[in-house]
A and B are shown apart, each in its own frame.
Chain A
Amino acid sequence: MADLTPSVDGGHREAPARPAETPAAGGVPAIELRGVTAGYDERAAVESVDLSIPAGSLVAIFGPNGGGKTTLLKLIAGLLQPWSGTVRVLGGAPSEVAHRIAYVPQAELVDWAFPVSVWDVAMMGRFARLGPLHQPGAADRAAVSGALDRVGMLGVATTQIGRLSGGQRRRAFLARAIAAEAELYLLDEPVTGVDVPTQEDLMDLLAAESAKGRTVVATTHDLAAASRHFERVVGVNRRIHADGPVSLLSDPDVLSRTYGGHVLVIGERGVLLDDAHHHDSERGSERHFHEPGPRR
Chain B
Amino acid sequence: MTPLDAVLQPLGYAFFLRALVASTVVGLVCAVVGSYMVLRGLAFMGDALSHSAFPGVVAAYLLKGPFYLGAAIAAVGTALAIGWVTRRGRLRSDTTIGVLFAGMFALGVFLFSRIPNYVGDLFGFLFGEILGIGDADLLALTALAVIVLAVVAVFWKELLYSTFDPLGAAAAGLPVARLDYVLLAVIALTIVVSLQAVGIILVVAMLVTPAAIGQLLATSFGRLVAIAIAVGVVSPIAGLYLSYWLDAATGATIVLVETGLFILALALVSVRRRVPAKA
**B161-205 toward A: CB 8 Å interface, digit per residue (1/0)?**
110111111111111111010000000000000000000000000
User: A66-102 toward B: CB 8 Å interface, digit per residue (1/0)?
Assistant: 0000000010011100000000000000110011011
Most A CB contacts (10 A, CB to CB) among B42, B92, B154, B219 go to B219
Q: Are A98 and B172 in contact (CB under 8 A)?
A: yes
Q: Which of A94-133 contact B (CB under 8 A)?
A: 94-95, 98-99, 101-105, 109-111, 114-117, 120-121, 124-125, 127-128, 130, 132-133
Q: Are A78 and B42 in contact (CB under 8 A)?
A: no
| B215: contacting residue among A115, A121, A186, A288, CB under 8 A | A115
Chain A residues in 8 Å Cβ range of B162: 290
B243 is an interface residue with CB less than 8 A from chain A: no
CA–CA, A180 and B262, complex, Å: 38
B171 in complex: contacting residue of A41, A79, A296, CB < 8 Å: A79
Question: B93 touches which one: A132, A136, A288, A292 (CB < 8 A)?
Answer: A288
Say whether, besides A186-B171, A293-B176, A115 and B87 are in contact (CB < 8 Å).
no
By a CB distance below 8 angstroms, the chain A residues around B176 are 290, 293, 295
The answer to whether B220 and A124 have CB atoms under 8 Å apart is: no
- CB of B64 closer than 8 Å to a CB of A: no
Partner of B218, one of A115, A120, A173: A115
Q: With contacts A104-B168, A105-B168 known, is A128 near B173, CB below 8 A?
A: yes
Given contacts A105-B165, A290-B180, contact A115 B175 (CB under 8 A): no
Residue B106 is within 8 A (CB to CB) of chain A in the complex: no
CA distance A287 to B172 in the complex (A): 18
A109–B172 touching, CB < 8 Å: no
**Interface 1/0s, chain B 12-51, versus A by CB < 8 A?**
0000000000000000000000000001111001000000
- How far is B39's CA from A273's CA once the two chains are assembled, in angstroms? 39
From the candidates B40, B171, B220, name the one contacting A77 in the complex (CB within 8 A): B171
Contacts of A295 in B (CB 8 A): 170, 173, 175-177
| Bound-state Cα–Cα, A283 to B91, Å | 10
- Say whether A296 contacts B175, CB under 8 Å: yes
Contact status A99-B92, CB under 8 Å: no
Task: Verify A286–B168 contact, CB threshold 8 A.
Answer: no
Taking CB atoms, residues of chain A closer than 8 Å to B172 are 98-99, 101-103, 125, 127-128, 180
Q: How large is the interface on B (under 10, 10 to 19, 20 to 34, 35 or more residues)?
A: 35 or more
In the complex, residue of chain A having the shortest beta-carbon distance to the beta carbon of B219? A160
CB of B240, distance to nearest CB on chain A (Å): 30
Instruction: Give every chain B residue within 8 A of A116 (Cβ-Cβ).
Output: 160, 164, 220-221
The answer, yes or no, to whether B157 is at the interface (CB within 8 Å) is yes
Is B86 in contact with chain A by the CB < 8 A criterion?
A: yes
- Complex Cα distance, B155 from A94, in Å, reads 23
Q: Contacts A95-B173, A283-B90, A286-B92 hold; do A103 and B168 have CB atoms under 8 A apart? A: yes
Q: Contact size class for A?
A: 35 or more
Q: Quick one: which of A125, A136, A290 contacts B166, CB cutoff 8 A?
A: A290
Contact: B165 with A110, CB < 8 Å? yes
| A294 CB-CB contact with B under 8 Å | yes
Q: How far is the CB of B103 from chain A (nearest CB, A)?
A: 19
**Is the beta-carbon distance between A132 and B170 smaller than 8 angstroms?**
no
Pick from A110, A128, A133: contact of B154, CB under 8 Å: A133
- Does A19 sit within 8 A of B, measured CB to CB? no
Q: Does B83 interact with chain A (Cβ within 8 Å)?
A: yes
State in angstroms the CA–CA spacing of A99 and B215 once bound together: 31
**A257 CA to B177 CA in the complex, in Å?**
38
Q: Restricting to B130-181, which residues have a CB under 8 Å from any CB of A?
A: 154-155, 157-158, 160-162, 164-178, 180
A121 to B165, alpha carbons, bound, how many Å?
10
Q: Shortest distance in angstroms between A17's beta carbon and chain B's nearest beta carbon?
A: 29
Is B42 in contact with A288, judged by CB distance below 8 angstroms?
Answer: yes
B41 and A102: CB pair below 8 A?
A: no
Pick the 10 closest A-B CB pairs, nearest first. A98-B173, A103-B171, A293-B177, A128-B172, A77-B171, A160-B219, A290-B166, A127-B157, A105-B167, A128-B173
A-B contact pairs, 25 of them (CB 8 A): A77-B171, A78-B171, A94-B171, A99-B172, A99-B173, A102-B171, A102-B172, A114-B164, A115-B39, A115-B219, A115-B221, A115-B223, A117-B220, A124-B161, A124-B164, A124-B165, A127-B161, A128-B161, A132-B158, A160-B219, A160-B220, A286-B92, A289-B86, A289-B87, A293-B178
Which residues of A are in contact with B by a Cβ distance under 8 Å? 41, 74, 77-79, 94-95, 98-99, 101-105, 109-111, 114-117, 120-121, 124-125, 127-128, 130, 132-133, 136, 160, 173, 176, 180, 186, 283-284, 286-290, 292-296
Q: Residues of B at under 8 Å CB distance from A?
A: 39-42, 45, 83, 86-87, 90, 92-93, 154-155, 157-158, 160-162, 164-178, 180, 215, 218-221, 223-224
